Structure 1
Amino acid sequence: MPLTPEQQAEIDALRAQSRPTLRAVAEGMEAHLYTAYPVLDHGFVRVIDYMGDDAAITQAARVSYGRGTKAVSNDEGLIRYLMRHWHSTPFEMCELKLHVKLPVFVARQWIRHRTANVNEYSARYSILDREFYIPRPEDLAAQSTVNNQGRGEALSGEEAARVLEYLKGDAARTYDHYEEMIGQEGQQGLARELARMNLPANIYTQWYWKVDLHNLFHFLRLRADAHAQYEIRVYAEEICRLVKDWVPYAYGAFEDYRLGGATLSGKALDCLRRMLKGEEVTQETSGMSKGEWREFQGVVD
């Protein structure tokens, strides 16, 4: 189950409270507070707290740049200007704190974004739940033949069934041994901090993750991308939905310039200009490597 009864009771109690406040409030995010949105088979994302809104970004920008932004007549235009010209510090005025439940192997990818504050569930002090990520058959795929980090074609029905049986069986067996090691009647039991090392990377963990909007956008640009691993991408996509309701102007600019935009190298720009003039440009005449050329074609085709 995504939420324990204790967690659900805590959420229900918090949602039942209502207090007046003088701080900036984003109505879109208020609607999401304390709601756990399911991700994968046992995971979830829920908003614990947030600070700031679109107005906080423009307020900080106008303090910082003064007269330099007077030509921008509205907040949305200013935010788009800031995003377009990579002015990042105004976006740092907004912060978001999430409670995330996710498989350990996804957490190990996620933690590479070292610009957030993290507090993770401790398996030294507590016993992990018997919850493992088991992919859907359609999400099982072979290794990509063109990308060492990616997936290729989906596995066939028989092979997918065999792999799923391994995943389920291995997870159950290692957890049985974990339970047996940490204590039975008549034995001392292995320390939890040691017993946990035998658990597989698809077991679920939880953490609180707090990040400012600038670094959150960097995370989302990489992890909500179509090339990101599916299991972390679905978390990023759920967070995108929340952020869109929180700071709609900032998210709109991010979606346009980062998620939907492309960065071209000097060689790529030169090739594009030549192509616009009617010249036929090939990989051999582009000055790019095969990989660069393939990526360039993905942008312009």
Structure 2
Amino acid sequence: MAHCIAPEAEKILDKEFKVLDKGFIRLVDYMGTDARIVQAARVSYGEGTKTVREDAALIDYLLRNKHTSPFEQVVFTFHIKLPIFVARQWIRHRTARLNEISGRYSILKAEFYVPDGKDISLQSSDNKQGRMSEAVSQDLQNEVISSLQKQQEEVYDGYCKLLDKNIARELARINLPLSTYTEWYWQIDLHNLFHFLRLRMDAHAQKEIRDYAEVMFEICKTVAPLACASFERHEKNGVNFSAEELEAIHNLIAGKESGLKGKELERFNEKLKSGRQV
């Protein structure tokens, strides 16, 4: 099998999928499909496939049992436009290769992320890095949006004035806000992409990066639908239990109290709740 083609992926190559107000994800290229995963696992020289059902069962077995190397045979290259604050969360995933637009060479555009009103909420009282689920009042939404836009316009105006004075671009850019849009090419194999998606599609991830992850997962399905179905079953919609939590489950089945207390019980109930919602 010299080259794998995914017909659904071919249809969307270079197509922009909108994310947030001005961002997008584009599938630039891919290498390998479900068939490549199967072929690598069977270490065969032919197509390496039997029936779709058998291939799906093999892929499911591999993912379920953490046999990850066959998934590394599938590689994606994305072109992504995203706010800098999202990019700085994204870059923590160090298992990809990327090339980002440079403000030293290019004049950055006046493109800034402004959240939708429904996404503006107060700081969470029990999560230091998150926001509350309820949006603030319409008046406060309008005030926040107006304030953000005004600050962005003022800073970009200052940036342009420095450029007009022929100040070096690498200096003129330094006050631009984290809401500024950047672009990069991001290449990653399927195993590490699944790790990224598992973390960034989680309800605890910031809403903005979650939006990118959800769109990326839909694109991923066009290349490796069987692998994505298995990932969705075992990782995205699955839950891992600790030894103590497994003991609690046995206790509940036996009609006893779980035996968990405090934060442990809270986390356990949260896992059970997420399982029922899937």
Alignment partner, residue 70 of structure 2: 90
2-structure distance, mates of 1:299, 1:109: 25
Runs of 4+ in 1 over 6 A off after TM superposition: none
CA deviation after TM superposition for structure 1 residue 49, in Å:
0.4
Distance in 2, matches of 1:257 and 1:31, equals: 28
Match of 2:40 among 60, 70, 73: 60
Once residues 194 and 164 of structure 1 are traced to their aligned partners in structure 2, the CA distance between those partners, rounded to angstroms, is 28
- C-alpha offsets along residues 28-52 of structure 1, whole Å, 9 cap, x if unaligned? 1111101011111110000110000
Which residue, 183, 206, 224 being the options, matches 2:183? 206
2:89 is aligned with what amino acid? Q
For residue 161 of structure 1, what is the amino acid of its counterpart? N
Match of 2:212 among 232, 235, 255: 235
TM-score by length of 1: 0.85
Question: Which amino acid in 1 is paired with 2:266?
Answer: R
Q: Which residue of 2 aligns with 1:5?
A: none
Supply the distance in 2 between the matched residues of 1:300 and 1:24 (Cα, whole angstroms).
40
In 2, Cα distance between equivalents of 1:273 and 1:163:
49
Greater mean deviation of Cα atoms: 138-147 or 89-98: 138-147
Which of 234, 258, 277 aligns to 1:257? It is 234
2:85 corresponds in structure 1 to: 105
Looking at structure 2, the residues matched to 300 and 182 of structure 1 have their Cα atoms a distance apart, in angstroms, of 56
| Partner Cα separation in structure 2 for residue 237 and residue 199 of structure 1 | 28
**2:138 is aligned with 1:157:** yes
Cross-structure match for 1:6: none
SS in 1 for 2:43: helix
Partner residue of 1:293? 265
**Structure 1: where are the runs of 5+ without partners?**
1-21, 65-69
1:260-279 superposed matches below 5 A: 260-279=237-256
The amino acid that maps onto 2:223 is W
Please name the residue that 2:61 is paired with: 81
Q: Distance in 1 between matches of 2:265 and 2:124?
A: 19
Q: Deviations over 1:195-233 (max 9, x none)?
A: 111100001000000000000000000111222111111
CA distances 1:14-69 after superposition (whole Å, capped 9, x unpaired): xxxxxxxx6210111111101011111110000110000001001111129xxxxx
Match of 2:276 in 1: none
- Please, which moves more after superposition, 206-215 or 237-246? 237-246
Describe how 1:39-58 pairs up with structure 2 within 5 A.
39-58=19-38
Q: Which residue does 1:15 correspond to in 2?
A: none
What corresponds to 1:177 in structure 2? 158
Say whether 1:143 aligns with 2:123. Answer: yes
Q: Does 1:168 align with 2:145?
A: no
Q: Give, in angstroms, the shift of residue 280 of structure 1.
A: 2.1
* Matches of 1:235 and 1:57, distance apart in 2: 25
1:175-195 deviation per Cα after TM superposition (whole angstroms, max 9, x unaligned): 000000112xxx4x2111111
Gaps of 5+ in 2: 45-49, 274-278
Name the Cα RMSD after superposition.
Answer: 1.6
Work out the CA distance in 2 between the residues paired with 1:209 and 1:51: 14
Q: Distance in 2 between matches of 1:300 and 1:179?
A: 53
Code of the residue aligned with 1:121 in structure 2: it is I
Deviations 1:93-125 (A, max 9, x none): 000000000000000000000000010001000
Task: Please point out which of 95, 106, 111 is paired with 1:115.
Answer: 95
Q: Distance in 1 between matches of 2:176 and 2:270?
A: 40
Amino-acid identity (%): 47
Query: TM-score, with normalisation over the residues of structure 2?
Result: 0.92
Indicate the residue corresponding to 1:124 in structure 2: 104
SS of residue matched to 1:31: helix
